[in-house]
Amino acid sequence: MFVARHIAADHKDLIHDVSFDFHGRRMATCSSDQSVKVWDKSESGDWHCTASWKTHSGSVWRVTWAHPEFGQVLASCSFDRTAAVWEEIVGESNDKLRGQSHWVKRTTLVDSRTSVTDVKFAPKHMGLMLATCSADGIVRIYEAPDVMNLSQWSLQHEISCKLSCSCISWNPSSSRAHSPMIAVGSDDSSPNAMAKVQIFEYSENTRKYAKAETLMTVTDPVHDIAFAPNLGRSFHILAVATKDVRIFTLKPVRKELTSSGGPTKFEIHIVAQFDNHNSQVWRVSWNITGTVLASSGDDGCVRLWKANYMDNWKCTGILKGNGSPVNGNSQQGNSNPSLGSNIPNLQNSLNGSSSGRKHS
């Protein structure tokens, strides 16, 4: 079903994040080499690095795009305790001639006293807002009151999560029936049984974010969290990367039934839980319709999950981190070599598919 190809990334150290813009025509990567690279897709479908610059004075954990309505805008966050907003400068220059684009820093957000572990722009309908979270356990929500002026960001909310935060995800729903909502995950590994996923919801009345839900069943460190694109559904889907892949649905209990004014109550169900990655799961990502989830884990594999019409989630694809497919039958996920096991020789048939096409 899927075929992988290699792209020469040319980062000097580990890449920590990959992010597509709204159209999937541009891509940003960030790395421990303290740089961010921007990639543009050519007409032939190849990726070309069109910008690469030093963004921080520490490992860059995450990079993310604003909706193109706000321009070509990126945000990054780093171990250096800051987050930054970048904008592409358009104009004729030598860079242009070389097919390079130029990015300038519009602002540095310095409120955190510890490593900033994630940064995400809010859904477009909320305006130009972004949220960061940091190892000191605080989620900060910033807003650019004037979308024309990317150098002015005001800190609108500070939400204390009590636990070192590792990841955040905005609920992308733009339905008027759903209030702005953000989920926060913690990778705090101290041996306590505290829930590691908290969900905060904005209240029009108090003009504040208040805790709406805590996923009590998630007590192991959480490395990534992602709301599925809502796509007109009446409920929300949340994927959590912890010691396994978990998928939750959050059904808003109808407002009439709850006391008015308070935060929305949800019926929370866990609809899938997979430990096929054997150990830690590092990332989860939804496709555009929120119908296929990709996850990566300690088994060095990327796995795809999809629900059938009965809402039974199943693994529909496995790929090794180096792009080569794994035997489709061994879905038990034991890709680690165990001695004496007679693993059929796959590589022959696979080499053709993972062609080492190079770019840039």
Partner 1 sequence: MSGTKPDILWAPHQVDRFVVCDSELSLYHVESTVNSELKAGSLRLSEDSAATLLSINSDTPYMKCVAWYLNYDPECLLAVGQANGRVVLTSLGQDHNSKFKDLIGKEFVPKHARQCNTLAWNPLDSNWLAAGLDKHRADFSVLIWDICSKYTPDIVPMEKVRLSAGETETTLLVTKPLYELGQNDACLSLCWLPRDQKLLLAGMHRNLAIFDLRNTSQKMFVNTKAVQGVTVDPYFHDRVASFYEGQVAIWDLRKFEKPVLTLTEQPKPLTKVAWCPTRTGLLATLTRDSNIIRLYDMQHTPTPIGDETEPTIIERSVQPCDNYIASFAWHPTSQNRMIVVTPNRTMSDFTVFERISLAWSPITSLMWACGRHLYECAEEENDNSLEKDIATKMRLRALSRYGLDTEQVWRNHILAGNEDPQLKSLWYTLHFMKQYTEDMDQKSPGNKGSLVYAGIKSIVKSSLGMVESSRHNWSGLDKQSDIQNLNEERILALQLCGWIKKGTDVDVGPFLNSLVQEGEWERAAAVALFNLDIRRAIQILNEGASSEKGDLNLNVVAMALSGYTDEKNSLWREMCSTLRLQLNNPYLCVMFAFLTSETGSYDGVLYENKVAVRDRVAFACKFLSDSQLNRYIEKLTNEMKEAGNLEGILLTGLTKDGVDLMESYVDRTGDVQTASYCMLQGSPLDVLKDERVQYWIENYRNLLDAWRFWHKRAEFDIHRSKLDPSSKPLAQTAAMFPFFRKSPESKKPSAPETEADGFVLLGDTAHEQRKAAKGKTSEAEDSQPLEWTGQNLSKFEPLVQ
Residue of the chain from 176, 193, 207, 352 that contacts partner 1 (CB under 8 A):
176
Tell me if 302 sits within 8 A of 296, measured CB to CB: yes
Give, as ranges, the residues between 20 and 79 that touch partner 1 (CB under 8 A).
Answer: 20, 22-25, 27, 29, 31-32, 43, 47, 58-59, 68-69, 71-72, 79
Three-class DSSP category at 91: coil
State both tokens at 289: 């319709």
Q: Return the range that interacts with partner 1 (CB under 8 A); candidates 87-95, 154-162, 193-201, 203-211.
A: 87-95
Q: Which of 108, 151, 152, 175 binds partner 1 (CB under 8 A)?
A: 175
Tell me which H or E stretch contains 119.
strand 116-121
Point out which residues pair with 209 in neighbouring strands. 202
93 forms part of the interface with partner 1 (CB under 8 A)? no
275 scored as a contact of partner 1 (CB under 8 A): no
Q: Name which position in 53, 88, 214, 265 contacts partner 1 (CB under 8 A).
A: 88
Report the nearest approach of partner 1 to the CB of residue 122 (Å). Answer: 12
Sheet strands side by side (includes 73-78): 60-65, 73-78, 83-89, 102-109
User: For residues 25 and 211, which CB has a smaller minimum distance to partner 1 in the complex?
Assistant: 25
- Name the residue type at position 290: G
x/- mask, partner 1, residues 111-140, rule CB under 8 A, reads ---xx--------xx-x-------x-----
| Contacts (CB under 8 A) with partner 1, residues 194-233 | 230-233
Q: Is 254 in the site for partner 1 (CB under 8 A)?
A: no
State yes or no: residue 6 binds partner 1 (CB under 8 A): yes
Would you say 214 or 315 has its CB closer to partner 1? 315
Of residues 262, 119, 267, the one with CA closest to residue 202: 262
Of 160, 312, 351, 355, which lies in the binding site for partner 1, with binding defined by CB under 8 A? Answer: 351
User: Could you tell me if residue 137 is left (phi over 0), alpha (psi between -120 and 50 degrees) or otherwise beta?
Assistant: left
Q: Kindly state whether residue 271 participates in binding partner 1, applying the rule CB under 8 A.
A: no
Distance from C-alpha of 346 to C-alpha of 336, rounded to nearest angstrom: 15
- Counting Cα atoms < 13 Å in the Cβ hemisphere of 68 gives 8
Please state whether 44 falls in left (phi above 0), alpha (psi between -120 and 50) or beta. Answer: alpha
